[in-house]
Structure 1
Amino acid sequence: MNANVSAGEAPPQAGRREWIGLAVLALPTLLLSLDISVLNLALPHLSAALGATSTQQLWIVDIYGFMIAGFLITWGTLGDRIGRRKLLLIGAALFGAASVLAAYADSATTLIVARALLGISGATLMPSLLALITNMFKNPKQQGLAIGVWMSCFMGGMAIGPVVGGAMLGTFWWGSVFLIGLPVMLLLLILGPILLPEYKAPEAGRLDLLSAVLSLATLLPVIYGVKQLAAHGFGVPQLLSLLVGLAVGVVFVLRQRRLEHPLLDLRLFGNRTLRAALGVALLCSATMGGVTLLVAMYLQQVAGLSPLVAGLWLVPSFVLAIVGNMAAPALASKFNPAYTIAGGLLVTAVGLVLLTQVSSTGGIALVVAGYAIAFAGTSPMGVLSTQLVVGSAPPEKAGGASALSETNGEFGIAFGVAILGSLSAAVYQGRMTDAVPAGVTADAAAEARDSLPAATNVSADLPSQLGGQLLDAARDAFTSSLHTVALVSAGAMVLFAILAVTLLRRAAPVAGGEGQPEETGRPAESVAG
């Protein structure tokens, strides 16, 4: 079946039904991001109530992201086969049930299981949401705006999470933060069948269960290895995890090439626009993922803010990002998308340069301003690269392409935290080599040189004057590491801007692979299958 719009025929305009449907899709998007940010506030409360060990606390936080990253490709492709609306509604029901289990968990183990189920169900929601948007909005300009709204809702959830979480924890018990999603999922289950279209690929074939297992066995060890690399540096367990994941990944790729109906159609990568958009998005996500970690650490460890107050200071960055998300499609309609993306990345570089001027005392305003500018500058890249990825695939592959885009982002952030976190640690440790004040014991000095949180713990056990001197030295060293990472990241953003112009200047926003030629002059459908 040829889904292409004939030459000269304008893509259909979305009507009121589609825009109301977008509002319905916006609610679970808001919830998914809010569920991430509120947990950071609830963690101390639930840890005390459930007696969670430090290892259990890590799993409570991390298992959600692991499951999302591991299942995105499987669920995205499954949605293409059984129906994207059907998968969305199944995921909504599972998410609601897992939220109740999490809210009333009576042990840390039960909560870890509930968080794993939340991640698995969240992985059904994310690609389904984006794929449905591409089905509902065929007009490229409207599609870009719809994707901007979708991404803005995700940003909005991150922004209001600390406020909502703080209010609920101040009034109710810790489990209440997990119940926020119940009304949202119930509304989605009621309105979804009425307002959202169903779409599944014709003749998509059966889901290959072995490929699903291989996909999970590829992504989970790689993501776990990268996260452990960020937390603990290079070591045998981390490298072994990465090697296992990569080895299974080779087996996964070989199997996809042999299957008539693969879990992941590798022919999608034959589209140069898709490859370039994924590559630029991966690099930018990695860079901003690392910078975000250091900014959050600065606000809490250097400026001494609580997680709630630090989250509130970051609200301006989310607000500016939302403005950028909404402006990106309009800018791309007047200028080449590649230049719109590149211009945003140059703005990001300016914001990162501001971070190089932050001092270890009284630097909150400057770090917030610099980060807000940098974060907002990545908005065109986020919206337009997503549209380029899903638009470069034919309609029957939209779910798989959406999952690719989101998995790409998850991996980019984890990779950036590992690489830039390691760079920050190296600079910090180098600065602390001769900065530990006299009078600190050798063991305490060695611990303080490891990281700023370690130095903070050591300083609390020292006499007040000596502890203050050590803490000041550690904060200066960390701020220097922030300067280095920001400077390197600013230079990287300039290079990424050049890369975007070079690779994407001949691409144009498309909708569902309809009627837009690839750079080679071939229809996107023929390239992607």
Structure 2
Amino acid sequence: MAMNVDSRVPTSTAAPARAGRRAWIGLLVVLGPVLLVSMDGSILFLTMPTITRALAPTADQALWILDIYGFAVGSLLIAFGNLGDRFGRLRLLMIGAAVFGLGSAGAAFSPAPEWLIGSRALMGLGGATLLPSGLAVLSELFEDPRRRSRAIGIFAATFAAGFAIGPIIGGALLDRFAWGAVFLINLPVVAVFLCAAPFALREVKATRPGTVDPLSIVLSAGGLLAAVYAVKHAAAYGPSVGVAVVGIAGLLLLIWFTARQRKLAYPLVDIGLFREKVFTVAIITGVLSLFAWSAAAYLTGVYLQSVLGFSVLTAALLALPGAAVLTAVCVLTPGAAERLGKRTALVVCHFTMAAGLALLLLTATTGGVGWFIASTAVAGIGYGISFALVADTAVAAVPPERAGAAGAIAETSNEIGNALGIALLGSTAALVFRLLGPDLAPTLGETLDLDATAPAIEQAKEAFLSGLHIAMAIAAVLCAGLGILALRWIPKNEAVR
């Protein structure tokens, strides 16, 4: 690591240069699995229609195919972030990459929906080990705060680019190959990482003493999974006694987890971090940005294909301008936030997301490609700021030995937002379709597969579009509301850390 080389040779002028090269090479090695993990959070948005035709999952199974990855990652990130801090980040990165590769191979050759769900869960298990440890490695590779901030910006840009280009790569592969190809592309990247990581990275453990609290791991993972599952299931199928019991149990586990963290000398989550208003607003931003982005990506993917009639590849290519804006903003955000302040950056983030989402309200069943492209470009500014600033704020707020845990909080906010966005806003759109549609089938895709009359098809498209508009209006209002909160809550003279 750069830090270790510099400390051994403090008087050498060549050592910092060598340390710098090693740091940037190490960053490149880490970015491979990071890109894969983020891509797999979104690659199924355009792939699901093809998978549905191939495996014929039930509606419930299709929902689990979409959501199980995000649930597994979101519920385990905090636990694995701390395990990496205590037992070795490189070790966890290697194990996580291997597990992710095994899950990818299983998913590619899944003969049935149940097999695909299980493989996606295994991929989520591997992803939960990769993200926090990968982010924590950067704090060890880059001791200088400015270089570290720039590296985290690149890390965030890669993570964001993966989310953005996942559907595009999926569409390109589906245009030429069977659906399993969207998972097979992970294997070469995993193989390269497993070969290069032992040479480019060094094992680093936390210098802070203390043991991992097993009960805290169980409480955090179990509480998050139960709570997210209950919210998703209630939104999709309506409330029930069983779902309410699961939701209450999850909430109680999270309350118990929070109370326990206050008593532990070495907690999984430092609750005191949330006393910092900038940190708190940034974490909420992490949840909300993916909440809005995932729902918008999923619903507009259906809109472009099923309403406007574009092919999978064309729909994916139309998302390129927004993906380019999002990625560029991720890289530029650390420097801009340093000059303008985190308050200004967060405010711009929230209001550009709100404005971009609001542009989708102008789409129609007979046209709207221009509004879609404008929406992804404008909202991409906000998404890019969020992806870059949330991670940087989390890592900069804690000592290096707690970087994995802090990074896990930031990444958990993204993954929980991703899962909830599809569950809540996607279910809102589905509910509107059931209320306003022709009552021939529960979804637009199934309605179009029927031998329906032209008026019924037009009614179905109008109903879907109404659901999309309502879901995006909700997301836009939430983003604007958080922007107002940032204006009122964060002092104007808030210093940049």
Is the structural similarity TM-score above 0.5? yes
Q: Does 1:494 align with 2:485?
A: no
Other-structure match for 1:439: none
Within-5 A mapping of 1:231-270: 231-270=236-275
1:295 to 288, 300, 310: 300
The SS at the match of 1:15 is helix
C-alpha distance in structure 2 between counterparts of 1:267 and 1:22, whole Å:
30
Within-5 A mapping of 1:378-389: 378-389=383-394
Other-structure match for 1:316: 321
Checking the alignment, whether the CA contact within 8 Å between 1:337 and 1:504 is kept in structure 2 is no
Q: CA RMSD in A?
A: 3.1
Q: Does 1:274 align with 2:309?
A: no
Other-structure match for 2:366: 361
Other-structure match for 2:457: 471
Residues 418/507 of structure 1: CA separation in 2 closer, same or farther (3 Å cut): farther
The residue identity in structure 2 corresponding to 1:368 is: I
Other-structure match for 1:520: none
C-alpha distance in structure 2 between counterparts of 1:359 and 1:51, whole Å:
30
C-alpha distance in structure 2 between counterparts of 1:282 and 1:57, whole Å:
24
Report deviation, 1:415.
3.2
The residue identity in structure 2 corresponding to 1:119 is: G
Checking the alignment, whether the CA contact within 8 Å between 1:131 and 1:402 is kept in structure 2 is yes
C-alpha distance in structure 1 between counterparts of 2:458 and 2:199, whole Å:
60
C-alpha distance in structure 1 between counterparts of 2:312 and 2:176, whole Å:
18
Within-5 A mapping of 1:215-234: 215-234=220-239
Report deviation, 1:383.
0.9
Identical-residue share of aligned pairs (%): 39
Residues 184/365 of structure 1: CA separation in 2 closer, same or farther (3 Å cut): same
Report deviation, 1:179.
2.7
Other-structure match for 1:522: none
Residues 420/108 of structure 1: CA separation in 2 closer, same or farther (3 Å cut): closer
The residue identity in structure 2 corresponding to 1:381 is: S
Other-structure match for 1:198: 203
The SS at the match of 1:201 is coil
Other-structure match for 1:133: 138
Bigger shift: 30-39 or 369-378? 30-39
Other-structure match for 2:415: 410
Checking the alignment, whether the CA contact within 8 Å between 1:229 and 1:418 is kept in structure 2 is no
Say how many residue pairs are matched: 481
Q: Does 1:182 align with 2:168?
A: no
Unaligned runs of 5+ in 1: 4-11, 437-444, 511-529
Residues 130/260 of structure 1: CA separation in 2 closer, same or farther (3 Å cut): same
Which protein shows a greater Rg?
Answer: 1
Residues 273/148 of structure 1: CA separation in 2 closer, same or farther (3 Å cut): same
Checking the alignment, whether the CA contact within 8 Å between 1:136 and 1:197 is kept in structure 2 is no
Q: Output the TM-score relative to the length of structure 1.
A: 0.81
Residues 259/423 of structure 1: CA separation in 2 closer, same or farther (3 Å cut): same
Bigger shift: 402-411 or 37-46? 37-46
C-alpha distance in structure 2 between counterparts of 1:215 and 1:35, whole Å:
23
Unaligned runs of 5+ in 2: 4-15
Bigger shift: 377-386 or 64-73? 377-386
C-alpha distance in structure 2 between counterparts of 1:115 and 1:423, whole Å:
25
Checking the alignment, whether the CA contact within 8 Å between 1:91 and 1:125 is kept in structure 2 is yes
Report deviation, 1:181.
2.2
Checking the alignment, whether the CA contact within 8 Å between 2:321 and 2:376 is kept in structure 1 is no
Other-structure match for 1:214: 219
Q: Does 1:372 align with 2:381?
A: no
Checking the alignment, whether the CA contact within 8 Å between 2:298 and 2:422 is kept in structure 1 is yes
Report deviation, 1:77.
0.7
Report deviation, 1:226.
2.4
Q: Does 1:30 align with 2:35?
A: yes
Checking the alignment, whether the CA contact within 8 Å between 1:80 and 1:204 is kept in structure 2 is no
